[in-house]
Amino acid sequence: MSTQFTNRQWRLPNNENKDKQSNYSMDFDGNVQHIKASNFSGLADKSSGSFSLWFKTTNTTSNAGKCILSIPYSGGGNGFDIYINNSTSLKSYLKTSTFTTTTTNTITYGDSNWHHVAVVYDGSTHKIYFDTVDVTNTSTPSPSGAIAASTVNTIEIGRFSTSYQNEFNGQIDGVAIFNYALSTSQITTLYGSSSTGIGNPMSLSPKPVAYYPLGDQDAFNGANYLVPNIAAEEDDGDIATSYSPYALDFDAASSNYIDCGNITSLNNLSAFSTSTWINYEGTISGASSHMFLSGGSASNNRFYVQLYSSNQIRYGYNGNTIVTTSSMSVGNWYNIVTVHNGTSLDVYLNGVKQNTSPVTVVAPSTNIGNNFQIGKYFALSSYYWDGKLSNASIWNTDLTSSQVTELYNEGVPSNLNNHSAYSNLVSWWQLGSNSSFNTNWTVLDEVTASGNNGTSSNMTEDDIVDGVGSYANGLSSGMGGDEVIGDAPYSTANSLSVNMDVLDRVTDTPS
């Protein structure tokens, strides 16, 4: 992980660690601190399953009975867990058609060193691996049947559950959950080495159904940490990784919006395109509200993109409008792309062109980049967006259908620096990711040459939320904002910034 900014802090790894999978972890105080992920069903009724994690503690007797990871089942009892059993052993519970308890042989864990644990159920055996070694002592009775998880929907990191809290005291890193039995070679891969760092769970096949790096990408929202699940499960069974795990949540009633100023590089264009990821959370009412992108001059050369009265997208330019044939559902993410090729308008929804024939309009002219705003219609004070927005971008060309499909990327935002039309990218705001809050949100324009950074109005720090393609993301409790630390397995002496924001990184360096 090279230097990156996640709300409030720059992560600046020691140079010798910059290429390692993990350089940061999270520190739990054993009191009320934990992380809970909801809406998880990745082990539901699976015939086998595994999880892998790293932990570090100096406590032994005071940690007895403390839970490092728990996936409780619907009855509120033990589902699939790993506990500190006593000063020299660990214990894992597994609920199937039988209830299995597995303990380890004598191990040393309270020695201030990082240790890797993998718990594996293959349908007939329930084992614990400690630093790649099978240390299973007893497993009573012999397990059988599917994991009893048909209605399980939570993951608890650092404690058991609301009823049986048992909070862990120490550091945790790299939690990964798999819906199959890990092989010994896969466990060795996850263990890694001092020279290469820990293994990347996303490099395994099949990939995990949940993966929480812990520390490296966690964002603080003023009260809690947002802990993204790097494995996002798609309907077709593939797992796609979103480049932007966060978004910003706009409240129309509070007049939330982002002002990006005048984008002069959009003047005198012969064509242009926009792309935005939207998730509407309000109630559709009226044909002129719910604007999420707009720009231009007050009297002419204006454009806007909005959610229309029948849950459709309307793209307007200088009095000409085009409306999508498909409707959207409240609470779901959609990628909206608009294209002006110089003489006509087109709209794409999730990569699919919505109009059979384009709307003929005049060519863009001088002031199209003026008053560029996200979450509001610049020309009127009452037309605001109500919901989440992510990855807004604008291009100085008419994107082709294949380039639009590339933007959709099977339902998750990608790194636009790698897009085939990157040379035509004018501005790109991830919104949430690579943004910082200090009185207002500063939303970084990722295209260095343009530098059209956005500034929020009437928004607060807790407006950072889970982004596109989210699945079983975690949320901390009882963690005050200083629990991310620059220590991880095989990686130490990594730095964190203090009182710096996303704009404090500059290109000027000693020559």
What percent of the chain shows pLDDT beyond 70?
Answer: 92
Could you report the per-residue pLDDT of 77-94, keeping only the tens digit for each?
Answer: 668 899 999 889 999 999
Asked if residue 141 has a cis previous peptide bond (ω within 30° of 0), the answer is yes
- Give pLDDT, residue 269: 82
Out of 132-136, 184-188, 289-293, 416-420, pick the least confident: 289-293
503 inside domain: no
SS (H, E, C) 200-269: CHHHCCCCCCEEECCCCCCEECCCCEEECCCCEECCCCCEECCCCCEEEEECHHHCCEEECCCCHHHCCC
CA distance 462 to 441: 11
Helix, strand, coil % (nearest 5) of the chain?
10, 40, 55
pTM: 0.89
| Residues 15, 138 within the same domain | yes
| Residues 205, 345 within the same domain | no
| Residues 321, 226 within the same domain | no
451 inside domain: yes
| Residues 208, 136 within the same domain | yes
- Give pLDDT, residue 135: 96
| Residues 453, 486 within the same domain | no
What percent of the chain shows pLDDT beyond 90?
Answer: 49
Compare 179 and 151 and report the one with higher pLDDT: 179
Q: What is the mean pLDDT of residues 100-119?
A: 93
Asked if pLDDT for residue 286 goes beyond 60, the answer is no
Winning range, highest mean pLDDT, from 54-68, 100-114, 180-194, 481-495: 180-194
CA distance 431 to 467: 9
499 inside domain: no
Could you report the per-residue pLDDT of 364-399, keeping only the tens digit for each?
Answer: 766 778 889 999 998 887 789 999 999 999 999 999
- Reading the block at residue 462, the tokens are 């807790």
- Give pLDDT, residue 494: 85
| Residues 279, 339 within the same domain | yes
178 inside domain: yes
- Give pLDDT, residue 59: 79
- Give pLDDT, residue 71: 87
154 inside domain: yes
497 inside domain: no
Q: What is the mean pLDDT of residues 32-41?
A: 87
Could you report the per-residue pLDDT of 111-170, keeping only the tens digit for each?
Answer: 999 999 999 999 999 999 999 999 999 888 888 888 875 545 789 999 987 666 789 999
Q: What is the mean pLDDT of residues 228-240?
A: 77
SS (H, E, C) 327-390: CCCCCCCEEEEEEECCCEEEEEECCEECCCCCEECCCCCCCCCCCCEECECCCCCCCECCEEEE
Dihedral angle sign, alpha carbons of residues 403, 409, 414, 418: negative
Q: What is the mean pLDDT of residues 446-466?
A: 90
| Residues 204, 293 within the same domain | no
Cα-Cα-Cα-Cα dihedral of 139, 144, 150, 156, to 10°?
20
- Give pLDDT, residue 468: 93
DSSP 8-state assignment for residue 193: B
Cα-Cα-Cα-Cα dihedral of 336, 464, 289, 361, to 10°?
-30
Asked if pLDDT for residue 502 goes beyond 80, the answer is no
Structural domain count of the chain: 2
**Strand 387-395, strand 272-280: pairing:** antiparallel
Out of 19-23, 102-106, 115-119, 451-455, pick the least confident: 19-23
Q: What is the mean pLDDT of residues 180-185?
A: 97
User: Which residue, chain included where needed, has tokens 């947002």?
Assistant: 226
Domain of residue 168: give its range.
4-231+472-477+481-492
Asked if pLDDT for residue 266 goes beyond 90, the answer is no
- Reading the block at residue 403, the tokens are 């380039």
Residue 343 sits in a domain whose CATH number is 2.60.120.200
Could you report the per-residue pLDDT of 324-339, keeping only the tens digit for each?
Answer: 888 888 889 999 999 9
Q: Are 49 and 179 in contact (CB under 8 A)?
A: yes
- Give pLDDT, residue 131: 97
| Residues 306, 437 within the same domain | yes
| Residues 118, 265 within the same domain | no
- Give pLDDT, residue 187: 98
- Give pLDDT, residue 311: 84
82 inside domain: yes
| Residues 263, 188 within the same domain | no
| Residues 136, 109 within the same domain | yes
| Residues 264, 219 within the same domain | no
243 inside domain: no
